[in-house]
Amino acid sequence: MSDGIRVTVWNEGIHEKQLKRCQETYPNGMGKAIGEYLEKQPGIGSVHYSELDSPEQGLADDVLNGTDVMTWWGHTAHDKVTDENAARVQKRVLEGMGLIVLHSGHMSKPFRRLMGTGCFLKWREHGDNGEKERLWVADPSHPIMNGIPEYIELPNTEMYGEPFGIPQPDQLVFISWFQGGEVFRSGCCWHREAGKVFYFRPGHETFPIYYNEHVRRVIYNAVLWAAPTRLAGGFTQGNVQPLEKME
């Protein structure tokens, strides 16, 4: 990775065209809000922006093959992503690409395929201002926690609550508290064959969460963590000769 990690920010890009409040909060789009911080960080080689409206839904072979870590934000059009493209993202993760799934991306096709579960959850939008969330650090030794205080407080959020239909995380790094009475596993790490997946709950199409310095730092840390190990070899079904003599 001598030239830095190649990041692709995948953004559904629909709320930006339809919701006035989204436009006000994210005048350059949510993708740019996520990527502009990454662009300036050490170790990042490049940030590419893809949207559902991009050619081949922003998931063409040359995009995927040129991506070390992809961030994924989608909400209202999960079904529009073709099964073929979802399968290709899944395949690339299994081959080593990191995947950072944000907020409502829990219902995206690539994430659900990689988890093997329904990924359902409870949710609530409360009035115009949502409600308070506090993300508590559950594993301070994890590299994604680098530079993060013992909790991140977000004053205005949409609630997500347990039960969250995911496999037990390999490492659980954040647990959220919500004003309305719920909890949520809001930072979850999984290894999947040669790749890594991080689910990070914060985000919303109208709340300015992707400008929060701690949220941005977590996403950046997660990109560093999810960058491919670049192991020689991969996973294949193969018929092999014995390594030992067998009479």
Near a copy of itself in 95-124, by CB under 8 A: 96, 107, 113-118, 120-124
- CA distance linking residue 89 with residue 94, whole number of Å: 9
For residues 33 and 159, which CB has a smaller minimum distance to a copy of itself in the complex? 159
230 binding a copy of itself? (CB under 8 A): yes
Structure tokens belonging to residue 43:
């170790």
Question: Please, are residues 76 and 105 in contact by the beta-carbon 8 Å criterion?
Answer: no
The side-by-side arrangement of strands in the sheet containing 5-11 is 44-51, 5-11, 69-73, 98-102, 195-200, 183-192, 171-178, 131-137, 151-157
Does 196 engage in binding with a copy of itself (CB under 8 A)? yes
Q: Is the peptide bond before 163 cis (omega within 30 degrees of 0)?
A: yes
Which position among 61, 66, 165, 213 is part of the footprint of a copy of itself (CB under 8 A)? 165
Contacting a copy of itself within 27-56 (CB under 8 A): none
Q: Candidates 4-12, 29-37, 164-172, 210-218: pick the segment binding a copy of itself (CB under 8 A).
A: 164-172
178 touching a copy of itself, by CB under 8 A: yes
Q: Is residue 190 at the binding interface for a copy of itself, with CB under 8 A as the rule?
A: yes
Name the segment binding a copy of itself (CB under 8 A); options: 44-52, 70-78, 160-168, 203-211: 160-168
**Binding residue (CB under 8 A) for a copy of itself from 4, 172, 211, 214:** 172
Of 6, 103, 185, 201, the one binding a copy of itself (CB under 8 A) is: 185
Q: Output 53 or 162, the one with its CB closest to a copy of itself.
A: 162
Out of 7, 137, 152, 188, point to the residue binding a copy of itself (CB under 8 A): 137
Tokens of 187: 């930072």
DSSP 65-127: HT-SEEEEE-SS-GGGS-HHHHHHHHHHHHHT-EEEEEGGGGGSHHHHHHH-S----EEE--T
Spatial CB neighbours of 152, under 8 Å, sequence gap ≥ 6: 134, 135, 174, 202, 212, 214, 215, 218
Instruction: Indicate whether 233 belongs to the interface with a copy of itself (CB under 8 A).
Output: yes
Near a copy of itself in 76-95, by CB under 8 A: 90, 94
Residue 181 gets which letter from DSSP? S
Work out how close the CB of 55 gets to a copy of itself at its nearest, in angstroms, rounded to a whole number.
Answer: 27
Of 27 and 165, the one with the shorter C-beta distance to a copy of itself is 165
Indicate the pairing of strand 171-178 with strand 131-137.
antiparallel
Question: Three-state DSSP class for 37?
Answer: helix
